[in-house]
């Protein structure tokens, strides 16, 4: 589930950087939050998937 969200955010981020310059910043922040959540789960020893 978490990987699915991360993939969707990457796609939205790429679309935002290409076509929606203003919205790209918000999608980039969401992508950054998703990466932080995955890293925290890995550090805590939980399965990140």
What residues contact residue 12 under an 8 Å CB cut-off, 6+ apart?
27, 30, 31
Three-state DSSP state, 29: helix
Specify the pLDDT at position 49.
59
Specify the pLDDT at position 25.
72
pTM greater than the 0.75 cutoff? no
pLDDT in tens, 1-49: 778 888 888 888 777 777 766 666 777 788 888 888 888 888 888 665 5
How far apart, in whole angstroms, are the C-alpha atoms of residue 16 and residue 49?
26
Specify the pLDDT at position 7.
83
Specify the pLDDT at position 18.
72
23: exposed, middle or buried (Cβ count in 10 Å: 0-12, 13-18, 19+): middle
């Amino acid at each position: 589930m978490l990987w699915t969200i991360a993939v969707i955010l990457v796609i939205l981020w790429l679309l935002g950087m290409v076509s929606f310059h203003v919205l790209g910043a918000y999608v980039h922040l969401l992508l950054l939050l998703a990466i932080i959540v995955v890293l925290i789960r890995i550090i805590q020893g939980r399965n990140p998937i």
